[in-house]
Structure 1
Amino acid sequence: MVITGASSGVGLAAAVRFAAQGDQVVVVGRTTERLDAAVARVRAAGGGREPGRFQADFERLAQVRDLAAYLLDTYPVIDVLANNAGGMVGGYRRTVDGYEATIQGNHLAPFLLTTLLRERLTGGRVVNTASRVHTQGRPDPDDFTGDPEKFRWGRAYGAAKSANILFAAEAARRWPDITSVSFHPGVVRTNFGEGAVRLVYRFAPFLTTPEKAGALLVWLATTPAAELTDGGYYVGHKLTRPAAHAGDREAATALWDASAAAVGV
């Protein structure tokens, strides 16, 4: 089980649950201190079994390629890839690769990782953490850089989460030998986003616990494939129709082709 964004929140909760079930887990995180702490928790949950670990910043595509190389060199089979890394960016930021940070961290980097691991995932599953916030924005396959003057963090995040849903649906069509789904984890109490956004996700009273959201991720990763809809978007345990722009087949195809060109695969 490879889980990105596993050093806190939903990803860590899922990693702990997988380890407690006896699964071999690879914990992927961005910062050393949080990754160390996460690995210790996953190790304890697994009764002392050492998890895999890798540090990677998804705002650097070179590090995503390094992660893929490590996984390919180390694991002959990958049963589950949980594309959970990402988050809200409070202001416009362009990555070293030349793309707006929200769309790169939440979509382009996971797209690259999944594509590089594609053959190793045969017969397995890809679970993409999306959001109901996808209703607030749509990705532009002709422009992953964006305009700093027009940047709005909510719209950018909504576009990235729409991209997650579109990617899962298109992957199901192109890769029928891999089960691919996306899901809304709830509004989770976690260290999420930046600045004022992070405060909301830590202290608002209506939030879902990481453990509940992590359990949903594990359910999607382990439920028999015949009981899921390949390419589907789930809210809780229920298959749900996304907003029209996130369910558009032509948009999914255009996004896939543009993403492949952008990341060079």
Structure 2
Amino acid sequence: MPWFSGRCTSAVKLIGKTAIITGCNTGIGKETALDFYKRGAKVIMACRNLDKGEEAKKDIENKCKDLPESGKLVLEKCDLASLNSVRDFAKKILDNEPQVNILVNNAGIMMCPKGETEDGFETQLGTNHLAHFLLTLLLLPRLRNSKPARIVTVSSKAHTRNGMKLDDLNFKVRRYNAAEAYSQSKLANVLFSKELAAKLKEHNIDGVNTYCLHPGVIKTELGRHLDETLFRGARLLIGTVFGPFLKSPELGAQTTIYCSVDEKCANETGLYYSDCVVTSPSHNGRNDEYAKKLWEISMDLVGLKDYNPFTAHDPGVKS
């Protein structure tokens, strides 16, 4: 148990609200879904593995079967390693959900072996950043029409460890390093949230706020690739040595929940949080030039170069 762990103490209800969470069949995503469900929200669980997602859904429902005013859980397929899957998911949301009040970009992979997504992106950049970038911008017109709305992106303190090679984001030239690739993808999360807040302000859009956060070092399945990318037995060794200092998934979800629902941060945007308080990201995470350039590159990579999510018409709203 860590010496200190921030907690969201807000008792706010989410009855009548719709929240989307990526990667919530396990870990802090599942704990976030459980919390929102208890608050009465309609929670759309965007998962790659529907079998595991169904198990998580049933577990949450069983835990809350005697609670009054619990919400509704809806399981949907969304594979972040495929931009087509992200587009299909976003279309289903736009076709069926009249509002989206909270979007939690939670899913992620860490220090996996060298590989590429379906679209040819380095696996961690493609999954952790580009897929969430695309999803957020496709849903932004609906979020704009669901104000107040919050966009919460789960990053990591690992974003501080390395910089960003904007001319070689996908490790086509430099030698692949799993830890460096993970750090770069988490830095991308920070820069995306920062630049999104800036662009919302530029377009005079208020009521849609962005948040980015470090959840802490947590006992989850996120480290499942460590034996492959570090050394055999790394996961067991790290778990044994650092186990007493790791957060539980329930504690690890607290900053996500705080940024999503707490009244105290309702008027904040573009900031970075840890243990439910604002903190400073790395020097690179505060770099406006990096943020702008990454935005431009990301728009091109995901095929949104000619799309303006800040002025685009919401297909669910009649002209």
Instruction: Give the TM-score normalised by structure 2.
Output: 0.78
1:88 equivalenced with 2:88 (yes/no): no
Match of 2:213 in 1: 183
Counterpart pick for 1:21 among 22, 36, 39: 39
Q: Equivalences for 1:100-111 in 2 at 5 Å? A: 100-111=122-133
1:1-265 paired onto structure 2 within 5 Å? 1-45=19-63, 47=65, 50-122=72-144, 123=147, 124-147=149-172, 150-176=175-201, 177=206, 178-196=208-226, 199=235, 204-205=242-243, 206-224=245-263, 227=266, 229-265=268-304
DSSP 3-state at the match of 1:25: strand
Q: 2: distance between equivalents of 1:146 and 1:196?
A: 20
Distance 2:274 2:197 in 1: 18
The alignment partner of 1:257 has SS state of helix
Contact 2:114 2:122 (C-alpha < 8 Å) held by counterparts: yes
Q: For residue 150 of structure 1, give the secondary structure of its aligned residue in structure 2.
A: coil
Q: In structure 1, how many angstroms separate the alpha carbons of the residues matched to 2:63 and 2:255?
A: 18
How much does 1:216 deviate?
2.0
Give the structure 1 partner of residue 231 of structure 2.
none
1:97 and 1:225, CA in 2 relative to 1: closer, same or farther beyond 3 A? Answer: farther
Comparing 53-62 with 143-152, greater Cα deviation is found at: 143-152
In structure 2, distance between residues paired with 1:44 and 1:242: 38
Query: In the aligned structure 2, how far is the partner of 1:14 from the partner of 1:7?
Result: 10
The alignment covers a number of residue pairs equal to: 265
**How many angstroms apart in 1 are the aligned matches of 2:111 and 2:28?**
18
CA distance in 1, matches of 2:150, 2:46: 17
User: Secondary structure at the residue paired with 2:222?
Assistant: coil
- Provide, for residues 124-183 of structure 1, a one-character-per-residue CA deviation record: whole Å limited to 9, x for no partner: 110000110001123333333214861111111111111111111101111243100100
What is the alpha-carbon distance in structure 2 between the residues aligned to residue 222 and residue 49 of structure 1? 15
Deviation at 1:262, TM superposition (A): 0.3
Q: Any idea what SS the aligned residue of 2:104 has?
A: strand
AA aligned opposite 1:105: T
* Cα displacement (A) at 1:45: 4.6
Note the residue ranges of structure 1 that are not aligned, 5 or more in a row.
Answer: none
* SS at 1:113 equivalent: helix
Amino acid at match of 2:117: T
CA displacement 1:182-217 (0-9 Å, x = unmatched): 000001111114333683676641211110122221
Moved more, 146-155 or 227-236: 146-155
Structure 2 residues without counterparts, runs of 5 or longer = 1-18, 228-233, 305-319
Residue identity matched to 1:261:
D
Alignment RMSD (CA, Å): 2.0
**CA distance in structure 1 between the partners assigned to 2:64 and 2:96 by the alignment:** 20
Q: TM-score, normalised by structure 1?
A: 0.93
Tell whether the 8 Å contact from 1:35 to 1:55 is kept in structure 2 after alignment. no
* C-alpha distance 227-114 of structure 1, shift in aligned 2 (>3 A): closer
Task: Name the stretch that deviates more: 137-146 or 60-69.
Answer: 137-146
